[in-house]
Structure 1
């Protein structure tokens, strides 16, 4: 259960966990859910890029802590010798690409300070939370939120990180 991590640093902000630490948090999620080798890109950005992406994809004109972009296989076409096209059925094909996480370093740092959390612990929570979104978990309704938060707590506890939802 290993995550292949593509780390992109697109901010001047320091205090970003190193690649092996980020990968260990991804691996904790995959191990808990018994998911084999997946590739994830984590792009660490500043407020401007976070805000632009949040607006473009969620119509929210403000930066946010983490955005998740699950991999979606594009429709592929095959062409025969007459130039006729037909869709390629990839239903049986498994891809290792899980998706992309975009984490806004200054927002994560500000939230950790405001919520009296250890910065590294808040980073771990953002990676776990975002990765669960990549895997299809959500928190739109109360039942989904309860299930997702319970899973987050369990994974974070295994990493010796306190419940991120306690007292907040």
Structure 2
């Protein structure tokens, strides 16, 4: 079965050191990771931000005053998934280092995670939902040749 179609906008905000993030996120890989997590055609914007922008968005939209790794703003799930995925570069870099993962693999995981959120998956509603979403992420990432991101827990 062919993968869903994706219209992708990849944006980089003002980062202190953008080079490692740009290197970890070539457009063709970002599109591949997202398309493997999609269940329908999509229009998605991915924006890589600094801690200040990440914290501001998380505070304004989730009422949590800290920078988080990924925020998903979902606008439509049918007939076309429409969403913005905002990833906070310094948080992702720190987490990748703390968990002994490559920056590229951690970005792949969080893009898959955010894409699932854009389609209605939610790990905060119940333990069963969290387990189902985690299992789906593991399956998608395995299909992309990326190790289980939860194995080190």
Task: Report the secondary structure of 1:71's partner residue.
Answer: strand
Q: 2:11 aligns with which of 1, 8, 11?
A: 8
> What stretches of structure 1 of length at least 5 have no aligned partner?
74-93
Q: Does 1:161 align with 2:143?
A: no
Shift in Å, 1:97: 4.6
Measured in 1, the distance between the counterparts of 2:14 and 2:114 equals: 19
Shift in Å, 1:2: 2.0
Measured in 2, the distance between the counterparts of 1:44 and 1:71 equals: 19
TM-score for the superposition, normalised by structure 2: 0.89
Contact 2:81 2:119 in 1 (8 A): no
Q: 2:44 aligns with which of 22, 28, 40?
A: 40
Greater share of helix residues, 1 or 2? 2
Partner residue in 1 for 2:59: 55
Deviation per CA, 1:91-111, whole angstroms, max 9, x where unpaired?
A: xxx553521000011111110
> What stretches of structure 2 of length at least 5 have no aligned partner?
none
Contact 1:54 1:67 in 2 (8 A): yes
Q: 2:36 aligns with which of 28, 39, 50?
A: 28
Measured in 2, the distance between the counterparts of 1:126 and 1:11 equals: 20
Measured in 2, the distance between the counterparts of 1:121 and 1:50 equals: 20
Shift in Å, 1:40: 0.3
Count of residues in correspondence between the two structures = 144
Shift in Å, 1:145: 0.2
- Larger gyration radius, structure 1 or structure 2: 1
Contact 1:98 1:135 in 2 (8 A): no
Deviation per CA, 1:25-83, whole angstroms, max 9, x where unpaired?
A: 011112xx3x2x2110001100000000000011111001000000159xxxxxxxxxx
Task: Report the secondary structure of 1:39's partner residue.
Answer: strand
